[in-house]
Amino acid sequence: MNRFVPLIAAAAMAVAGGAYWMTAGQPTTTAVSTILPAVSNIQTVSSENAESSEIVEMAIGAEDAPITIIEYASFTCPHCASFHENVFKDLKVDYIDTGKVKFIFRDVYFDRYGLWASMVARCGGQERFFGMTDILMETQREWTSSGDPVAIADALRKTGRLAGLEDDTLQACLQDEDKAKALVAWFQENAAADNVQATPTLIIDGEQHSNMNYADLREILDGKLGE
């Protein structure tokens, strides 16, 4: 499991220290600065005065489902990618699509790339978010492997294009500094409120659970449903 308590502390320190956008730690040429996403270093993002209330909760499933699951996950967390491949797909078929579970995805940011991925996934709105999340999780190793910011940004835009988004739309989403700061503030507030210390973490009807296989998750859900 990926642990991120130190990152929350670093982000909190950044609130006092201010934020660096676009060129922090990167070449300052115009050509590069116009193609890099808004945030260069997640640890230097200031969430001061950020409007976290504007962030849309990404949810799937019936609003009146008897069980609500919140997953805290990062787009750059290998354990989260494994969960989505080996657990979430079956969960969706057996419980979400059948009206038994409402599923909420809450972003966690270990690094700038996870934040960029979130901004791309959210760029298409609620209706595209979970489809784009599936792609980003399935291809996580591919788009993160280079470690090169420009290559990763290009790979994330490619995912957005696969979802039907235009390049101008994707770039506008990636360059949205206010949204980036609001997402960081939102992440900090959620993680603190739920005392989340690692990813993936599941909150099932208010009860916290660590990463688990599908059989164990199914046992918990069926117990709640009386099945």
pLDDT exceeds cutoff 50 at 23: no
Q: What is the pLDDT of residues 73-100, one digit of tens each?
A: 999 999 999 999 999 999 999 999 999 9
Confidence of residue 177 (pLDDT cuts 50, 70, 90): confident
**CB-based contact 86:127 (threshold 8 Å):** no
Q: What is the pLDDT of residues 38-67, one digit of tens each?
A: 555 555 555 455 566 678 899 999 999 999
pLDDT at 204: 98
Q: Which residues contact 172 (CB under 8 A, 6 or more apart)?
A: none
pLDDT at 188: 87
Global pTM exceeds 0.85: no
Q: Give the β-pairing of 201-204 and 101-107.
A: unpaired
**CB-based contact 132:124 (threshold 8 Å):** yes
Neighbours of 136 (CB within 10 A): 24
pLDDT at 18: 27
User: Is CATH 3.40.630.10 the classification given to domain 2-225?
Assistant: no
- Residue 45 CA to residue 65 CA, distance in Å, equals 36
Q: Which residues contact 82 (CB under 8 A, 6 or more apart)?
A: none
The full set of domain ranges for the chain reads 2-225
- Residue 112 CA to residue 117 CA, distance in Å, equals 9
Type of residue found at 38 = A
pLDDT at 145: 92
Q: What is the pLDDT of residues 123-137, one digit of tens each?
A: 999 889 999 999 999
Q: List the structure tokens of 103.
A: 């599923």
58: β partners: 105
pLDDT exceeds cutoff 70 at 15: no
